[in-house]
Chains A and B, each alone.
Chain A
Amino acid sequence: MKNGVKDELRVLLSKYGPFFILLAMLIILSIISPYFFTVLNLTTILIQTAVVAIIAIGQTLVIITGGIDLSVGSYLCLSAIIAGLMMTSGLPLALSLILALVFGSFLGFINGFIVTKMKVPPFIATLGTMGMARGTALVITGGLPVSRLPEALAWFGRGTILGMPVPPIIFVVTALFFSWVLISTRLGRYIYAIGSNREATKLSGINTDKYLLIVYVIAGFLSAVAGIVLIGRLGSAHPTAGIGYELNTIAAAVIGGTSLSGGIGKISGTIIGALIMGVLNNGFTLLGVSSFYQQIAIGAVVVLAVFADVLQQGKVKQ
């Protein structure tokens, strides 16, 4: 009987582990800093987390298929710059944004093409496109930010709907939508199946290449969405934007329980992972700790989260 209770506790911990970590962090920070648990600060966290969270959703899908996407940060940047250039050249805002989204999706398509048709492993393929996209962004801007963007763009980064800030709304809606895709649609089922056993999935008559391609396109599309939110917030598009986001998004997914070997993962986990990193960030800033320490802390959280997972799995296997 005792064993049963222990087992249940373990299952609970492994299932909601990251959530408990987040909760603990919220409680501790609320106690240490009186400013932390205010509407204003919590909103700030959500806004700051939004960009990484949106891309991390695409990253999660890719990782569940057994792949990885290192290009997300560069794609965010390049899509944002393309959007910025179109706007400053006089194209209407809406059209520029739509074209930027199409462009981001196209970039994702390139990844998918290299992975499925040229059979280059995802790590290498996206390492390559990461460099190419970043280089392109630097070349076309000459290394300078694209500024003087239309006023209306700021709505995506700083606007509100019914008093709620826009970026968190975008990421929550995106997260809900893709959670639903994973749980309830054929695409979602195939994403898990491909990541677990691609050969068996293919032999079940499923066009695995097609679905892999779709997943990379989604990742590219979401990079562009995040790019729009970012330039909305900053008011300009920097050719160095999004550097290191590939690692942040991978960390968010992994903290949230997504397995790098594919087949396992949830959007809700990734969102919690992204929030944990956002809260760490914010907390350290509030406490006046150097941002250098943040990196140490985030690194430690990644290792601990995966370790907890390993412990749990080891137990099950035995």
Chain B
Amino acid sequence: MEYRLSMNKINKTFPGVQALSNVKLDLVPGEVHVLLGENGAGKSTLMKILAGVYPPDQGEILINGQKVVINNTGDAASLGISMIYQELNLIPDLTVVENIFINRELIQGWPGRYNWKEMNRQAGEILADLNLAIDPGNYIRDLSVAQQQMVEIVRSISSNSKIIIMDEPTAALAEQEITELFKQIKLLKEKTVSIIYISHRLPEVKEIGDRVTVLRDGKYVSTEDAKRVKTEQLIKMMVGRDIKEFFPKEDTEKGSEVLRVKNLKRKGVLDDISFSLQQGEVLGFAGLMGSGRTELMRAIFGADQGVEGKIYVKGTELVIDSPETAVKNGIALLTEDRKSSGLILNFAVYQNISLATLEKYAPRGVIDQKRERKRAGELVVALKIKTPGLETVVNSLSGGNQQKVILARWLYRNAEIIILDEPTRGIDVGAKVEIYQLINQLTKQGKAVIMVSSDLPEILAMSDRIAVMYEGKLNGILSREEAGPEKIMQLATGVMTMNLTKEGSI
């Protein structure tokens, strides 16, 4: 068989980490090759080597049987390789179409003017194909994470590449967008484009993959036929052990009400939302992208201006006008976008972990760094954060491990109300189970958890009740027993509406 790509004996070390040792990967035309592995296994690093972001320390890359040297991203592009990065890479102050055609703008006439008409037409066409309600003239900064992800995908689809690398493209997407993406992937396959596909959502392996390669601790484990291999086998290859239960939900005693939200409004974003939350409860929030879930959480947390309505914490009405007030009153918010609103990228791991709890280690303003580091060290162990050390700059951690760092910041803050916006985004199977167990521990201690998630199986399995949002409205709240995928989808798409009582509980 003619290989479009083969990577052989690839080695790469970073200070303190052997990210890849003797890894291989090959690709035939028109296949979707899934790359699996735990957080920090080296998937993104391998792909960045192919895309010209890092040079390999050793190893060879063949394209169509020819040995090539890829020194920078420009080389990769001219070899027909394009990559959708795990961390979004768009320029916020440019429009969608400007981002899509950046560095390869269409030129017409002499001395050369940008042909915006044609660029807009092409971008619009692909956006329409993908069923996306995004205007090519919109600014990136005004788009949600999921929409930005889709723009990244459009950018690489429109680049006529022969090899497209997708690093966790579905992490930020909900069911519907994923369906659209998969349609596009199938079209690309028909055009013999080869796709390398990275994901932590295992059902996707069978759904979209042809072959699958597993990495573990920077080493090559095996390549399998995606349709024939068993999921349990893949998990064993990835984490080195079996996982019995994926969603270890435990029932807990529900206590008194800790949070009540009444008639919350924000113009054009949130429409008259009321609900309540009890001690020991996990309240899931489902909905499509842009349905207002993140905005609702930010509103409760005091992160945005212009919010009307009432919020009661443990029965007392509070005016939460800043995150500071929210935190002081026992509310924690894990934000969905780790890069822009979560991490301090140039801070060390331990400094990122302690950021929200620093007053504990510095009652009089002077930080007790020994205690700070000790605690951070414990959390790194507890959450199995893979890092060369506490002093490592968080920017150099793998995506999933960065997510765990923010989790560590909030999960141990001893808040009464813990809001988790997409907590398991980009997290590997093993670590997901650990996070669920943590949520169990929290609810057992009588804490209340709100979990926003686009992962339907996760939200179905881990929530006591599920609130579904649609276009800024709370369209219904389902109990654990009545909830199912169809019902949630109907509520999320506005096909069905439930009559909620004023208090939002049924």
Contact = CB atoms under 8 A, between A and B. Distances in A.
Most buried by B among A193, A196, A199, A203: A203
Given A189-B358, A204-B323, A204-B409, A196 B366 contact: no
A186 B409 contact: no
A184 B356 CA distance: 16
A12 interface: no
Contacts of B303: 202-203
A200 interface: yes
Interface in B303-324: 303, 322-324
B324 A193 contact: no
A207 B355 contact: no
B344 A186 contact: no
A196 B366 CA distance: 21
A185 B362 contact: yes
B346 interface: yes
Interface string B312-354: 0000000000111011100001010000111111110001000
Contacts of A264: 346
B128 interface: no
Nearest to A264: B346
A73 interface: no
Nearest to B298: A203
Nearest to A193: B344
Interface string B49-77: 00000110000000000000000000000
A75 to B, nearest CB: 26
A205 B327 contact: yes
Contact of B341 (A192, A203, A318): A203
Given A200-B341, A203-B303, A263 B346 contact: yes
Contact of A201 (B54, B344, B367): B344
A184 B369 contact: yes
B322 A207 contact: yes
A205 B324 contact: yes
A187 interface: yes
A197 B344 contact: yes
B356 A196 contact: no
A206 interface: yes
Contacts of A318: 54-55
Most buried by B among A192, A200, A205: A205
Interface of B: 54-55, 301, 303, 322-324, 326-328, 333, 335, 340-347, 351, 355-356, 358-359, 362, 365-367, 369, 409
21 contacts: A185-B365, A186-B365, A187-B365, A189-B351, A189-B355, A190-B358, A193-B347, A196-B346, A197-B340, A197-B344, A197-B345, A199-B341, A200-B335, A203-B323, A203-B333, A204-B327, A204-B409, A205-B323, A206-B324, A207-B324, A318-B55
Q: Which 7 A-B pairs have the closest CB atoms?
A: A205-B327, A204-B356, A186-B362, A204-B355, A196-B344, A207-B324, A205-B323
